A and B are shown apart, each in its own frame.
Chain A
């Protein structure tokens, strides 16, 4: 019995190559599943059961302030949500916020990763400083940007811009979306940078040397060898980054409260408002399901990239 279990290690490599897993007795199968079950059970209990709950609520008309109304209304909530100006604006804002942040953070992240891939004095310190924005508690970072950076009178952003002759700007009320994108780009650049850097450092030095010997310049080498190699890492960073940035809530809640007007109301904030301020359970749930569907579309691509990196590793 013990030997069977101890055979596990080689069989791990075996199952990876063969589609058919080795035949095992039912008892043996359950003994193998045992260690997995607690983690699996808790995850299902706290993610899949609530998700089913959301789907259920999305089909009902229910407001927590009027408990007497609770009836099945089919897809009516989805119609309301999709036809509602408030939610449509939120979808648009979510797309603008996510796309702008991902593109800017990725461009900066690639540039910084390329720099960090070279040798220079104090590289370790620079790397440590560069990852710090991602580590700062997002709620603290949001308030810090709101009051210390964006403040129209004594914010550091206006002070820095005054050097180039730009006058006092009230960032949060005049340019709320660019201000949020700036703050989020600052926060997410380290994430992109770290994944791209890992990609750069996994390049084979032999190929780079060969390119050099063949007389390829640094730009040609970067464009023709490094970028194709980096493609999957960049894809992974963009997809994971998108999934997480779509979920942005902290800075909206703390800096703009979705405003002015609805200028920065994204989907998570809109759903939060609908749930905890208007108590419109059905509509909030329908919007939640729509976010999940959107996320599944991105996640399907993300999982494919992860799976291809994963295959390469094994």
Chain B
């Protein structure tokens, strides 16, 4: 799907050149804000806010150092804990659930599948208040475990649907061969199914990582001083005095880079995750 097909230059038609030129132009326009963020992070503040824009300059790491000096690390660690914690939990919960909805289906597996997907469609604003009050009452407000659990539930539908689609793609012959060999239930799962869907699990984990890392609404509503994540750090740039564009760009680059890289790696499976497994 994402393979680059090298054109054979003997048969290049003018149409191909026009298509290529249009596509490249569109890509550069849409990618420009990201590129500009990346470039501006390496500027001095005075170079970042000029009219016309400054294109050539000597790159500096000053802004990145300043961000790290501004206590960025705790936010980064919170984000890492919430993201990695929830992603591990999602995979641990979703894999057996997907199994029970595909290879060894429960009676009303279809209802269960659509129940999961409908929870992903529920607007977060509709449940934030009770979650806030419950968390407050059990002392889990501003708590990274609570945030991880919320992200787990947020990503479970995507993970269940994705992993299920990978399980259904397993060749039937392999599963049957294992049965003939007399492999036990546990052995079948551990030795045959899990290794075969491992790439699918990795893809699912990457997709869940993307959504959890980028999440803002729950983070800004449910955390304050103990558990704020990277997006919450960025709110410090909503209103700032004086010149701060270079510093903002450096912070935004550091905040966004992990997911950009994860998304590039997982792009083959991105559409499956975005469409909740409905499109491959």
Contacts and interface: CB of A to CB of B under 8 A. Distances in A.
**A and B interact:** yes
B68 interface: no
B256 A118 contact: no
B216 A291 contact: no
A184 B267 CA distance: 21
A124 B2 contact: yes
Contacts of B37: 136, 140, 144, 148
Contacts of A69: none
A120 B33 contact: no
B131 A50 contact: yes
Given A32-B100, A123-B23, A129 B28 contact: yes
B231 A54 contact: no
Contact of B16 (A120, A131, A151): A120
A278 to B, nearest CB: 12
A47 interface: yes
Contact of A159 (B34, B53, B230, B262): B53
B263 interface: yes
Nearest to B54: A154
B70 interface: no
A201 B5 CA distance: 14
A40 B112 contact: yes
Given A136-B260, A292-B122, A120 B23 contact: yes
Residue of A2, A140, A147, A253 ringed by the most chain B CB atoms within 10 A:
A140
B271 to A, nearest CB: 4
Contacts of B107: 21, 24, 29, 32
Interface stretch (B56-64, B197-205, B272-280): B272-280
Contacts of B82: none
B4 interface: yes
A144 B252 contact: yes
B234 A139 contact: yes
B221 A276 contact: yes
A197 B274 CA distance: 13
Could you tell me the dominant secondary structure of chain A's interface residues? helix
A225 interface: no
A25 B23 CA distance: 59
A127 B52 contact: no
A90 B201 CA distance: 40
B241 interface: no
Interface string B93-118: 11011011111111101001011111
A284 B129 contact: yes
Nearest to A275: B129
Given A118-B16, A137-B255, A34 B117 contact: no
A199 to B, nearest CB: 7
A122 to B, nearest CB: 7
Interface in A128-143: 128-141, 143
A189 interface: yes
Interface in A184-225: 186, 189-191, 194-195, 197-199, 201-202
B145 interface: no
Given A43-B119, A135-B263, 5 more contacts: A2-B184, A34-B100, A136-B260, A233-B279, A254-B234
26 contacts: A6-B179, A9-B103, A38-B93, A47-B122, A50-B129, A50-B130, A115-B26, A118-B16, A120-B17, A130-B30, A131-B263, A133-B34, A135-B260, A137-B231, A139-B231, A144-B36, A149-B33, A154-B53, A194-B274, A195-B279, A197-B271, A202-B280, A233-B279, A288-B128, A291-B126, A292-B122
Which 8 A/B pairs are nearest by Cβ-Cβ distance? Answer: A53-B130, A35-B96, A120-B20, A8-B104, A124-B4, A135-B263, A50-B127, A140-B252
Interface of B: 1-5, 7, 16-17, 19-20, 22-24, 26-28, 30-34, 36-37, 40, 49-53, 93-94, 96-97, 99-107, 109, 112, 114-119, 121-134, 149-150, 152-153, 156-157, 160, 168, 172, 175-176, 179, 184-185, 188, 210, 213-214, 216-217, 220-221, 230-231, 234-235, 237-238, 244-245, 248-249, 251-252, 255-256, 259-260, 262-264, 267, 270-271, 274-276, 278-280
Interface of A: 2-3, 5-6, 8-12, 15, 21, 24, 29, 32-36, 38-40, 42-43, 46-54, 57, 111-112, 115-116, 118-141, 143-145, 147-149, 151, 153-154, 156, 159, 186, 189-191, 194-195, 197-199, 201-202, 233, 236-237, 240, 243, 246-247, 249-250, 253-254, 267-268, 271-272, 275-276, 281, 284-285, 288-289, 291-292, 295, 299, 302-303, 305-307, 309-310
